[in-house]
Amino acid sequence: MNIHEYQAKEILRKFNVPVPKGFVTTSAEEVETQMGQLKSDVLVVKAQIHTGGRGKAGGVKLAKSAEEAKQFVKSMLGMTLITHQTVSKGQQVRGVYIDEGSSIKKEYYLSLVVDPKLSRPTFIFSSEGGMDIEEVAKNSPTKIVKFDIDYTEGFTSFDSSKLNNGFNLSKITNVAKNIYDAFIATDASQIEINPLVETNSGNFIALDAKINFDDNALYRHPEIVELRDYDKEVKEEIEASKHRLSYIKMDGSIGCMLKSAGFAMATMDIIKYYGAEPANFLDVGGGASKETVTEAFKIILSDSNVKGILVTYLVV
């Protein structure tokens, strides 16, 4: 489950992760009434959608006055943003977040994810923040540090030292510790801060924040479920979650129903190899009932782009 940036920052604030002051608005008229709570000459106006790459798509603007911020809000509300992470139809902007600008000395990247091979939380840190981490990994892999944490030991001093020794930035340790606490307490599957900035005063602030949660643990967090924005989710994916199906919508025309994630991805590669494009990823899992498979077919066929369905079921 994904949430918006402003919601992620509210959660991080509860765990003492420093974030800028800000507010979310759904109308330009609200801007003037809310602006009094911000104390900054520069304002950052951000479209709230469930995807990265907003800046390149025109969804992040810098405003030097309340009036300019108001105009940006007007132009963003109702627009459809298409980024490299959205499907071709993009996502419509229904909310805009405005927060205080910061005096930036240096931008960093910091995230915490679950390493599927180690089954452990793993920090990813880079001195190159504010850009796609995939590009950094490709072009400057030595600028990325990874280290995992043993669940039984928690965020130990050894982990802190490794982070500090790599970049000699002791204050990041406290931020990382608080992010780890938030990660464990909320059953998150990813917390990404990009950029984490060092200000001219030497403090660190999470200028952007993204949090994904483990769907299997949501029953423990009704307060997080309340944050879910169904308008920003694909209707087929919402329906699939009701039947505990792992489904991701794509832009192709060949529907896929498969067993096991690895087998599914290999089959999708074969579809692309022969010149077609998969319409979805759908893993029915082991022991799927007749009713579950029936619902899976309904979900695939609800996509008007689907021209055919490939069903593969590996029996061992």
Distance CA 247, CA 235 (A): 11
The per-residue pLDDT for range 178-200, each reduced to its tens digit, is 999 999 999 999 999 999 999 98
- Tell me, yes or no, whether 138 and 177 share the same domain: yes
pLDDT band at 157 (very low <50, low <70, confident <90, very high): low
**pLDDT score at 88:** 66
- Tell me, yes or no, whether 87 and 108 share the same domain: no
- Tell me, yes or no, whether 29 and 126 share the same domain: no
User: Shortest CA distance to 281 belongs to which of 230, 229, 228, 236?
Assistant: 236
Range of the domain at 33: 21-100
Question: Is residue 33 within a helix (H) or strand (E), and if so which, with residue range?
Answer: helix 29-34
Interval 203-223 mean pLDDT: 93
pLDDT band at 11 (very low <50, low <70, confident <90, very high): very high
pLDDT band at 81 (very low <50, low <70, confident <90, very high): confident
- Spatial neighbors of 75 by CB under 8 A, at least 6 apart, are none
Single residue among 100, 132, 148 that ends a domain in this structure: 100
Interval 101-127 mean pLDDT: 91
- Tell me, yes or no, whether 43 and 110 share the same domain: no
Do 312 and 282 contact (CB within 8 A), yes or no? Answer: no
Interval 155-172 mean pLDDT: 64
**pLDDT score at 308:** 94
| 29-33, 170-174, 216-220: range with lowest mean pLDDT | 170-174
**pLDDT score at 201:** 87
**pLDDT score at 315:** 56
- Tell me, yes or no, whether 115 and 191 share the same domain: yes
Q: Using omega within 30 degrees of 0 as the cis cutoff, is the peptide bond preceding 195 cis?
A: yes
Interval 265-282 mean pLDDT: 93
Active-site residue identified among 6, 97, 108, 109: 109
pLDDT of 1 strictly over 70 = yes
- Tell me, yes or no, whether 109 and 181 share the same domain: yes
For every residue of 100-163, which 3-state class applies, written as one string? ECCCEEEEEEEEEEEECCCCEEEEEEECCCCCCHHHHHHHCHHHEEEEECCCCCCCCHHHHHHH
Single residue among 44, 75, 100 that ends a domain in this structure: 100
Interval 233-243 mean pLDDT: 85
Percent of the chain with pLDDT over 90: 52
The per-residue pLDDT for range 45-77, each reduced to its tens digit, is 999 998 888 888 889 999 999 899 999 999 999
Interval 227-234 mean pLDDT: 82
242: its two tokens: 């009701």
Single residue among 59, 76, 100 that ends a domain in this structure: 100
The per-residue pLDDT for range 30-43, each reduced to its tens digit, is 888 888 889 888 99
pTM over 0.75: yes
How many domains are there within the chain?
3
31: its two tokens: 């801007």
pLDDT band at 253 (very low <50, low <70, confident <90, very high): very high
Cα–Cα distance list, 148 to 122, 182, 196 (Å): 4, 16, 20
**pLDDT score at 39:** 86
Query: Is 16 contained in some domain?
Result: no
Mean pLDDT of the chain: 88
Does 239 participate in catalysis according to the annotation? no
Does 109 participate in catalysis according to the annotation? yes
Active-site residue identified among 5, 192, 236, 295: 192
pLDDT of 231 strictly over 90 = no
Query: Is 10 contained in some domain?
Result: no
